[in-house]
Structure 1
Amino acid sequence: MTNLIGLHGRYALVPPQTFVARLTNEWTTTYHNMPSAALKALWTTMANTYQSAILDTAADVTPRWRILWPPTGSGKTLGAKVYAALQAEQNAAEPQKTPVGILIVTRLIAQADDMVAAINALAGRQVAVADHSAQRATNEQLHASDVVVVCRQGV
């Protein structure tokens, strides 16, 4: 059994409540929707799932699939963008901790480019870079980015 408790203090992790609050803000201010208690519970599950995957990877635990399969329109894509931007913010806010990188895989090149633009807009600075056949990121860009977005065709 691997002890994951010590890893919480070692890595710059996004608190689930911070994720839910930020996603709620985007949901209401940008999309003019009112989230339900059920949506907020789903978003908490998303945050906990992301954090669990990060901690398992950090602990070198054999990876297992985690599938989030909420219905269309429940904030999956927006949640991924918000989480990625928050992770970049957390990395910058806690330089004494090990930063966490995010890899996002999309189906199409245009989706990868859109995802990068949205994450950078949410973060308010360049934190994400796309790497695909239409635009290869340099080694320096990959190393300096908190988030790398590729499309399935470019993997």
Structure 2
Amino acid sequence: MVYKNIFIIFLFYFFLNNSHCHYKPFLLDKKTIEIGNFSDNNINISGKSISFEFKKKFENFILKHTPWNFVKKGGNIHLSGDFIDYKIIKKRNPKLKFIKMTVKIYCKDNLNPEKNWEKYFDIVESFSQQDNFPLENYLITEKIINNLVSQLYNKIFNNW
């Protein structure tokens, strides 16, 4: 019985190390992603870093939805960005306002440089007149960050 197990392990090892194996990349080569710096210098939020919250939520989202590994340096994909601006938009309905946040994201594909891109994302969320200033309101900030995470995830991972 022990010889049988050793033989099976040997065959599996040989199978994985065989240079003609077509399954090797799927079993051993796991893509990596590096999340770089995100700045929110232009966004004045009292006591809260929206870029820190975004980075944390984005990492958690990737961990839940993809098999990719995070690395500190040298990932297959490198992401970074800047929170550029936000505006409060008043509509005809005086009880409802919108906040529009603009974020510039840089994506560098170290394996396929032709897939590099930078893109502006506009995230729009509504809030009522009774809410406090929207960026100080935790629920509105959460909605903005979740919306951005979803948009960015779809942009990146629909290409792979």
TM over 0.5: no
TM-score with structure 2 setting the length:
0.29
Greater strand share, structure number: 2
Q: Counting helix residues as a fraction of each chain, which structure ranks higher?
A: 1
The higher radius of gyration belongs to: 2
Higher relative contact order (CA 8 A, sep 6+): 1
